[in-house]
Amino acid sequence: MPDRAFNAETLNRRQRPEVTTAAVAEQFSNKMSEISIREREREARATAAAEGIPYINLFGFAINPEALQLVSEDEARATGALPFYYHEGDIRLAAVDPTRPEVAELKKRLEQEHRARVMVYFISAHSLETALKLYAALPKFRNVVSGVVITEEELLRHQREIKTFRELEEKIRSATLTDLVALMISTAITSRASDIHIEAEERALKVRFRIDGILHDVATIDKKDWVRIIARVKLLSHLKINVIDKPQDGRFTIFLTNEKIDVRVSCLPTTYGESVVMRLLLSSAVALTFESLGLRGKAYEDLLREIEKPNGMVMTTGPTGSGKTTTLYAILTKLNTPDSKVITIEDPVEYRLSGITQSQVDHSRGYTFATGLRSILRQDPDIVMVGEIRDLETADIAINAALTGHLVFSTLHTNDASGTVPRFLAMNVKPFLLAPALNAMIGQRLVRKLCDKCKRPEKADPKLMERVVSVLDKIPEESGVRVDTRKLTFFSAPGCEACQKLGYYGRIAVFEIMTMNKEVEELILSGHVSEYDMLRVAVKHGMITMLQDGLLKAADGITSLDEVFRVAKDTTASYE
C-alpha cells in the first residue's frame, strides 16, 4: 500500500508542470505587489476621508473616452489629474493632489470651456498610472480640443475666394459635409458676423449672418443635408443629438492661430425642423476703451465723474443687443487697477476680462443673481457688476451694496434712461433707498457706422431735414453743445468691396446720460414718478437724448440719418 501511494504520487508529480524556483518567486512578487497596491488604495481612501474629498479607484473603472479627450496626456501627467467621467454638463476630475494650484486652474478651465459642473476626486498614484495608459488607445487627433480649429491660412483663403454672399452660396453647395460647418464659421468671421442663423424652412435650409446688427441672407442649403449638419453642430456643442423636440443650449470653441472664439449655440424646435443660432463671441470685441465708446462733451464728463465715485450704482438700459454689456466691460476695464477688486456675476460670462473675477449664474444649482451677489459681497470687492437686475431681491441687495461702500454696475431692460426709476419702483424698491444709491442712468442703442472707403455727402430730403433741425434746435443750452443747423452735412455710402457692398462697417453707440441731482431725488422720493417726469428734469439739467446724440454723429459723418431714425425715437415732444 505505501508503495502504491508513493507510485501514484510520483506519477501525479510527473504529469504536473514542474514548479521552478523562479516561478515561485514571481508568484510571490505578484502577491506582494497586489498587497502593496491594496495598501496604497487604503491609504488613499483614508487620506481622502480625512481631507473631506471623495475618493475613487480607477483600476477597472470604465473611463469615458470623451472625458479623457478633454485634457491632453501631457497636461494630465504634468498636473497629476485627468477627467474620468463626462456626461450632460457633468465632469468628474481625478487628482493625486487636489490641493495643487494647477488642479484648481484645470477645474476652472473645464467649467468655463464646457459650462459644466466639475467635481474633484482623490486618487492614488497607481490609479493615475492605470488611467494614463488608456490614452494610447484613443484615436489620434490633430488637436485634443473641444471645438473647431481654423488656421490663419484658411481665413485668408476664404477672404480671397469669397467676396460676396453669392460666391459663399456656391462654395457651400460644393463643400463636403465635413467642411461645411467650418466654412460657414470661417466666412462668418471674415464677414464680421456676430451670429450665424441656420433655419429650417419647408423646402430648404436658409443660412443668415447678422452683420452689424442686421440679418443678411447668405445661402440656401438642400434640406436633405439638415440632419447631418445639425448632428455636427450638436456634437461640437455637447448637445443630445437624439433630442429634437426640446430647446437645447450648448457651447464650443473656435481655435484661431492667435486667439480663440467662444460660440454659444441655441437649438429650437420649429414647424419644419430645428432652428440653430450660433453666436460668435470674439475676444477682440471687448478691446473697446471707455474713451472710444462714443461719448462726448457733458455726457462724457458726467459719466466719468460718476464712475470714479467710491460707491453708488450706475445702470445701463436698453433692449437686448444694444451694447449694454460692452459698455460695462469698457467701464470695468478703465476702473480695473491693482488696488481695486472687481467681481462680476453674469448670465452667461460672454468675454473673459484679465484681472477681473467673473462668475456665472447656474440656475440648476440655485446660483442666481441674488444668491451670487450675496456671496460676492462676502469677498470684500470694491466694484461689483451684476449682469442684469430682474427682480426685487436682486435689486435690494444691489442697492444696499451701493449704500455700503461698493460701486455697483448693472443693466435693466427699459426703453431709455428715463425709464430706470419707474422700473425700479414697479419692482417695489423702496424710494428712500433708491434715491441715495443711484449715481447715473445710461440709455443706449447701436447704430451702424458708414464705410470710410465709400461714404460721400448726400442731399437729405427737405421734410427729413425739417425734422432733423427741429430735434437739434431743442438741444438744451446747459449741455454745452452748439449746432449751426444752417450748415449741416450728412452722408451715405453706396457700398464697396471693403464693406461687402453693405455701405456700413462696424457699429457705435448713441447715448443719453442721466445723473442724479436734487430735483431727480425729490421725484424718486415722491414714489410716483413717470418716464416723462424724469425726462423733463434730465433735459432741464442739460441731458442730450439718444436721438440728438445720433444726429450729431450723423452730422460728423459717422453714421447716416436713416440709421439714427431706425434705432432712436423722438422724445422731444415729451418734455416741451
Which one is predicted more confidently, 571 or 88?
Answer: 571
> Residue 145: its pLDDT value, please?
43
Domain ranges of the chain: 41-142, 148-281, 287-574
* Count of C-beta atoms within a 10 Å radius of residue 318: 26
What string of DSSP letters covers 168-223? Answer: HHHHHHHS-HHHHHHHHHHHHHHTTEEEEEEEE-SSEEEEEEEETTEEEEEEEEEG
Strand-pair category, 438-450 with 504-515: antiparallel
Strand partners, 442: 316, 513
The alpha carbon of 74 is separated from its chain's Cα centroid by a whole number of angstroms, namely: 28
Task: Tell me which residue of 130, 121, 67 sits closest to 94, measured CA to CA.
Answer: 121
Cβ contact 369:389 at 8 Å: yes
Which one is predicted more confidently, 136 or 371?
Answer: 371
Cβ contact 491:567 at 8 Å: no
Look at the alpha carbons of 181, 185, 191, 196 in this order and tell me if their dihedral is positive or negative: positive
Residue 178 has pLDDT above 70, yes or no: no
Task: Tell me which residue of 275, 512, 497, 314 sits closest to 407, measured CA to CA.
Answer: 314
Reading the block at residue 525, the C-alpha cell is 422720493
My answer on whether omega of the bond before 348 falls inside 30° of 0, hence cis, is yes
Cβ contact 233:278 at 8 Å: yes
Residues 6+ apart with CB under 8 A from 400: 433
> Residue 14: its pLDDT value, please?
45
Task: Tell me which residue of 239, 248, 206 sits closest to 223, measured CA to CA.
Answer: 206
CATH superfamily of 287-574: P-loop containing nucleotide triphosphate hydrolases (3.40.50.300)
> Residue 158: its pLDDT value, please?
67
* pLDDT per position as a tens digit, 232-285: 888 888 788 888 889 998 888 777 766 777 888 999 999 888 899 999 887 655
Q: What is the mean pLDDT of residues 352-379?
A: 86
**Which strand (E) or helix (H) includes residue 355?**
none
Residue 181 has pLDDT above 60, yes or no: yes
Distance CA 559, CA 567 (A): 12
Assign domain 41-142 to a CATH class. Answer: alpha beta
Amino acid letter for position 446:
L
Phi/psi zone of residue 405: left (φ > 0), alpha (ψ -120 to 50 degrees), beta? left
Cβ contact 411:325 at 8 Å: yes
Express as a percent the part of the chain with pLDDT over 90: 41
Question: Would you give the DSSP letter of residue 308?
Answer: T
> Residue 223: its pLDDT value, please?
82
Whole-model pTM: value is 0.71
Phi/psi zone of residue 371: left (φ > 0), alpha (ψ -120 to 50 degrees), beta? alpha
For the domain made up of 148-281, give the CATH fold: Beta-Lactamase (3.30.450)
What string of DSSP letters covers 450-484? Answer: EPTTT-EEE---HHHHHHHHHHHTTS-GGG-----
